Amino acid sequence: MIDHTSKLPLHVQVEDYLRKLLGMEKFRKGAFLPKEVELANRLGVSRNTIRQATNKLENEGLIVRKKGVGTRAAEKKGLMTELDHWYSFTQEMKEKGIVVTNLQLRVEWVQVDETIRNFFHLQPDKKVLKLSKLKGAESGEPIVYFESYFHPRIGVSEKDEFGVPLYSMLEEKYGVVVHRSSENISARMAGSMAKKLKVDAKFPLLFRERFVYDIGNRPVEYNVGYYRSDKFTYSIDIKKGRRE
């Protein structure tokens, strides 16, 4: 299962292997995954490589680990999207005939929390470029607030033009083709986002957490969005797969 001569990092290959295990019926029903040392011996890699892969899956909400008990698939709470094309929020709205504009835009280098560090596989002292955008109608009424964090490998800088569709800019300037996202969607009260989105602190928001990967399954962006529930509906079109 693991090709030690491949240019694809070992931890990424281990991730793919574990994703296949998680897709098996017995693991979907709650069976524990093989223990870390067993996986390391079975795949011929270090325990640290196994840990890198499982940290990634845990951050995505795909597995749950309990010390002294084991690791198993998490209950389904998120969405996984495989896309043959990728739209920014602005492009999505444009297709629906809705014009949105950047009401606020800020770019800065910041220290990040453990979730982002583990997703990007970064050291604690490594800073990451953060893009904050408040988007809304031309009237000035806010709809959504985004925070994006970019992997330092890409080379995105504060001098880039962030007023254009983000994923188009990444592809055209840096050759980064985003391919897949893992998403967690939940509801929460506005809280600290109330003033920014011009709602009451107890107003319900749609919160979306997105982990974005390139064609090589490498992390590109960690993104969170806070959507006003009275202005936005998250729609999903699902087609039934053909049974073999």
Are 102 and 207 contained in the same domain? yes
Are 168 and 52 contained in the same domain? no
Tell which phi-psi region holds residue 28, choosing left (phi > 0), alpha (psi between -120 and 50) or beta: alpha
Round to whole Å and give the CA distance between 115 and 124: 11
Q: Which residues on neighbouring strands pair with residue 72, listed in sequence order? A: 32, 64
Of the candidates 152, 107, 163, the one whose C-alpha atom is nearest the C-alpha of residue 131 is 107
Give the predicted TM-score (pTM) of the model. 0.68
How confident is the model at residue 92, as a pLDDT? 65
Round to whole Å and give the CA distance between 148 and 122: 16
Are 43 and 95 contained in the same domain? no
Q: Is 107 helix (H, G, I), strand (E, B) or coil?
A: strand
Round to whole Å and give the CA distance between 152 and 221: 10
What is the number of domains present in the chain?
Answer: 2
Domain membership of residue 44 (yes or no) is yes
Round to whole Å and give the CA distance between 197 and 209: 18
CATH assignment at residue 62 = 1.10.10.10
pLDDT in tens, the chain (244 residues): 788 888 888 988 898 889 888 888 888 878 899 999 999 999 999 999 999 999 888 877 788 888 888 898 887 554 444 444 455 676 666 655 667 889 999 999 999 999 999 999 998 889 999 999 999 988 889 999 999 999 999 999 999 998 888 888 898 999 998 888 888 889 999 999 999 999 999 999 999 999 999 888 899 999 999 999 988 777 666 666 555 4
Are 70 and 180 contained in the same domain? no
Task: Give me the domain span that covers residue 38.
Answer: 10-76
CATH assignment at residue 192 = 3.40.1410.10
Last residue of a domain, one of 29, 51, 76: 76
Are 106 and 91 contained in the same domain? yes
Residues sharing a CB contact under 8 Å with residue 50, sequence separation 6 or more, in sequence order: 14, 36, 39, 40, 43
Are 71 and 29 contained in the same domain? yes
